[in-house]
Structures are given as structure tokens and as C-alpha cells.
Amino acid sequence: MTRHKVMILGTGPAGLTAAIYAARANLQPYVVEGNEPGGQLTLTTEVENFPGFPEGIMGPELMANMRQQAERFGAEFVSGWVTAVDLEKRPFRVTVNEDEVHEADAIIVSTGASAKMLGIEAETDYIGRGVSTCATCDGFFFRNKPIIVVGGGDSAMEEATFLSKFASEVTIVHRRGELRASKVMQDRARNNEKIKWKLNHTPLGVEADGNKVTGLRVRDNHSGEEKVLPVDGIFVAIGHSPNTAFLGGKLDLDTVGYIKTQGNTSLTSMEGVFACGDVMDSHYRQAITAAGSGCKAAMDVEKYLEGSSVHDWSQTVSAGH
């Protein structure tokens, strides 16, 4: 059984940034890549809002660069995913790929959150080529083009409103006749002249020409008629699922499943376990905010392994000292 000073679970912007900082602090981080090495950015094409790249950078390239930077300072990577953790004893025990057990003095959880998908025909084939789950990330690419937002909650209303700044027209498609969004969010969307509505319509499949999205095939729930709504982009806004099932309820989570952290730190309900990125952030969900939280997690771990009191350290960080 191999023992590590710190194990980092997940390799999106948060996990890779934590790996860079932990490696430079001589903590020899052992990084488990997860089911989706590099995180959701590996599913995107051009990233234009990550600082330092005035001409933009491809998502997979950005993640590859972060990994190489971590490896340069001594981070070790393993392909696989975490299937169980034992936080009841010290050092912690982490099971990788169901049968490989590791020990760790500290753990950084950066397993992210997965966007919920519709599960319709050709949807995943065109992620990054007209299908998106992030308006902030991809809205700019659809300037003066018609797009669709699928969903009926606050997230869908918020994304539609944001996208109306770029698109020529935004159509909200929802399979029910009533929205789940709060009244204030509904009113904001309904008062926006650029936003159109297709309620009681069920998405069936993504239409494309082999290179890019050309429309969304839907069924009218009243008439049963199927038709194609021609658009250049489809934004799926039906929520995210934090990847925390493997924790088995051993950390305090919110009602949705995101890890709760203490104040402005990465500290969780278990001393020695830290969280960063989308697995604990249900609000921003951006690469740059995830990277920033990965930096905080690595710094928190370093202080913890130095023997600083978790309580004193969390109070110090929260106070901004």
C-alpha cells in the first residue's frame, strides 16, 4: 500500500492548479485523473475568457498545458477513478479503480460537477460544435445567430437572458407547459423581446450537417407533430450533478450534493480533507474561479501538513490575514 502526503482527486482546472501549487511546495501530490481527465474543458473547443491567452486557446490544449506544468514540478498522475474513500482512520484510505488502495495524509477533492444532458440523439456528438452547457463560456460564438435554450428552471432563464445579449433570437424550449423558475426570473425572460417560447415541446434530437448544429428536432406534446426548429446553437440548461457519490455521505453536503466548505477556505467537515472547483461551487462554475479555488486548496493543505491548527488556519484565512 502506497502512502502519499496528499492525493488530489480530479484533474479539471481546480485539480490541476492544486497539483501545480502542491508540487511546488514539495508535497509530491498523487493525482487521480478521474473518468474525464482534464474536466469539462476537454469537451470544449476555443476558450476565450481564460486570462493570458489574448487569441484564445483550445480547451484540451489548456488542460494539457496545466498537466505538463504540474508534472514539471513533480506531480504524479494515475489514470483511473476513485471508487471509495475511508475517512474514519488516519492516514486516509482511497480506493482507485475498485481494487487499488492508497493512503494519504491529506486529500483534495476536485471531482467537479457534470452537466445534466437531455439524452437525445446526436447531443453528445456535437458538444463544442453547437451544443453547449455553458452560456458564459460559449455565448460569444453565437453573436447575431438564432439559438435555443432547453430548460424551465432559473438556470435556463438566466442563461437565456444572458445569451440574448449576443444572439439574434433565443427560444426557450421546455417539455412542460409550466416553468419551474422563480417568478422574478420568469418575468425577466418574458419581458425580453429577444426571447421566444416553445413550451410543451419535447426535444428529440439534434439536427446537424456533419460539422455543426443546424436545428433541434422536437415533438409538440399537444398535437404529437414532430418538427425541426432551425438554430445555430443549443444550450442545455437543466442543471448539474456534483460528482460526490463516491464519498458515501462522509462529508457534509448541501441539499443538491455539493461539498460544503468553511467560510472562504477549502476546508470541509473532515479535518484533512479539502475541496475545490465545481464540486463545491454551484454558482460560478468557471475555469478561472475553479483554478483559483485549486490554489487555495493547495495552500490550505500545505498549512495543514505543517501542523497548523485547522481552526486557527481557517479563521486566519477567513479574516484575510
SS3 track for 114-127: EECCCCCECCHHHE
Give residue 190's pLDDT: 96
pLDDT in tens, 199-232: 999 999 999 999 999 999 999 999 999 999 999 9
Structure confidence at residue 264 as a pLDDT band (50, 70, 90): very high
> In the predicted model, what is the mean pLDDT of residues 128-138?
90
Backbone dihedral region of 56: left (phi > 0), alpha (psi from -120 to 50 degrees) or beta? left
pLDDT in tens, 76-120: 999 998 999 999 999 999 999 988 999 999 999 999 998 899 999
Four-point Cα dihedral 150, 167, 283, 175, nearest 10: -10
Give residue 48's pLDDT: 84
Give residue 41's pLDDT: 76
Give residue 315's pLDDT: 56
Domains annotated on the chain, with CATH: 2-114+240-318 (3.50.50.60), 117-236 (3.50.50.60)
Give residue 46's pLDDT: 78
Spatial distance between the Cα atoms of 275 and 303, rounded to a whole number of angstroms: 15
What is the average pLDDT score of the chain? 92
Q: Exposed (0-12), middle (13-18) or buried (19+): which is 54, by Cβ within 10 Å? A: exposed
Statement: residue 321 has pLDDT above 50: no
The fraction of the chain above a pLDDT of 70, given in percent, is 95
How far is C-alpha 26 from the geometric centre of its chain's CA atoms? 28
Q: Are 12 and 277 in contact (CB under 8 A)?
A: yes
Catalytic residues, which ones? 134, 137-138
Number of H helices, E strands in the chain: 7, 19
Q: How many CB atoms within 10 Å of residue 165?
A: 12
Which of 205, 224, 222 lies closest to 213, judged by CA? 205
The fraction of the chain above a pLDDT of 90, given in percent, is 80
Statement: residue 288 has pLDDT above 70: yes
Bridge partners for 240 per DSSP? 115
